């Protein structure tokens, strides 16, 4: 009787130990899978430059970051497209250049101080030269209709000033007469004024380039600094090593007694 009892007890113990071992193995496998997934997500997030490039694109387009109806910030088109500084071709060209510098390959490179300085100098000189040589293509110039609207606004402003002066001097005001005088005065200069307005508005757009250039330079430099002495890939390697150590410990089952005790 006692022998049968011991045999049954032994079988139960073996079964319980096997079940416990399977449970521990499943838990370890699940933990390992989760850790590997987290590592992959972290690596992808750390090397993902799409958010930076998307931000650059919206900034070049002069889109505005505003909260939507749900209170979440999102990019919205500028209300007046005539206020854009760059043409579509200009935006596309700069984005092409930025893709060549802000990418995963740059992040995983190994640059020292001299190499970063040399690459930044070449980038700055090349971008400046390109924009200078092709500014008529990359920077927006106002259309004839836009120039006409600006000239009309200036004519209306001049009429208002003449009207105000006459009222202050307590003189008789004939608005039609004032309009005729102003139009007669400007008629011989309309073509000149249109050309002048176009040049003025183009210069205003060109003055924005220094700030645009400064922002682009800062972003490219920040990307290169992340690759200083291979720091970016070193950071990923250190994280993976730590995860492997933790994962290795989690896979070592604790020593159990025959009945599952310590």
**Which residue is it, tokens 């004032």?**
178
Contacts of 4 (CB under 8 A, 6+ apart): none
| Residues 71-104 pLDDT 10s | 888 898 888 878 899 999 999 999 999 999 999 8
Of the listed ranges 121-130, 172-181, 187-196, 203-212, the least confidently predicted one is 172-181
The crossing angle, in degrees rounded to 10, of helices 50-60 and 209-226 is 170
Banded model confidence at residue 175, pLDDT cuts 50, 70, 90? confident
The pLDDT of residue 15: 53
Give the chain as a DSSP string: -HHHHHHHHHHHHHHHHHHHHHHHHHHHHHHHHHHHHHHHHHHHHHH--HHHHHHHHHHHTT-EEEE-TTS-EEEE--S-GGG--B-HHHHHHHHHHHHHHSSHHHHTS-B-HHHHHHHHHHHHHHHHHHHHHTHHHHB----HHHHHHHHHHHHHHHHHHHHHHHHHTT----HHHHHHHHHHHHGGGHHHHHHHHHHHHHHHHHTTHHHHHHHHHHHHHHHHHHTBTTHHHHHHHHHHHHHHHHHHHHHSPPP--TTS--
List phi, psi (to 5°) of 228. -60, 120
Q: What is the pTM of this model?
A: 0.69
With a cut of 70, say whether residue 1 has pLDDT above it. Answer: no
Gap between the Cα atoms of 126 and 135, Å rounded: 14
């Amino acid at each position: 009787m006692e022998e049968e009892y011991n045999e049954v007890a032994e079988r139960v113990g073996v079964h319980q130990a096997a079940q416990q071992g399977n449970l521990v193995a499943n838990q370890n496998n699940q933990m390992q899978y989760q850790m590997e997934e987290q590592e992959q997500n972290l690596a992808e997030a750390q090397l993902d430059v799409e958010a930076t490039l998307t931000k650059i694109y919206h900034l070049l387009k002069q889109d505005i970051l505003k909260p939507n109806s749900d209170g979440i910030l999102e990019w919205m088109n500028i209300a007046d497209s005539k206020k854009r500084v760059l043409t579509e071709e200009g935006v596309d060209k700069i984005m092409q250049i930025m893709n060549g510098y802000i990418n995963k390959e740059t992040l995983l490179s190994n640059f020292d101080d001299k190499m970063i300085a040399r690459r930044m100098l070449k980038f700055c000189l090349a971008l400046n030269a390109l924009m200078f040589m092709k500014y008529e293509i990359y920077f927006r110039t106002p259309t004839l209709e836009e120039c006409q609207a600006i000239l009309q606004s200036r004519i209306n402003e001049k009429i208002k000033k003449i009207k105000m002066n006459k009222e202050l001097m307590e003189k008789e005001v004939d608005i039609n007469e004032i309009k005729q005088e102003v139009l007669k005065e400007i008629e011989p200069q309309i073509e000149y004024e249109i050309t002048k307005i176009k040049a003025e508005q183009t210069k205003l757009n060109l003055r924005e380039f220094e700030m645009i250039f400064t922002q682009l330079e800062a972003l490219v430099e920040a990307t290169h600094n992340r690759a200083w002495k291979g720091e970016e890939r070193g950071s990923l390697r250190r994280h993976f090593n730590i995860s492997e150590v933790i994962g290795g410990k989690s896979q070592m089952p604790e020593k159990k007694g025959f009945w599952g005790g310590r």
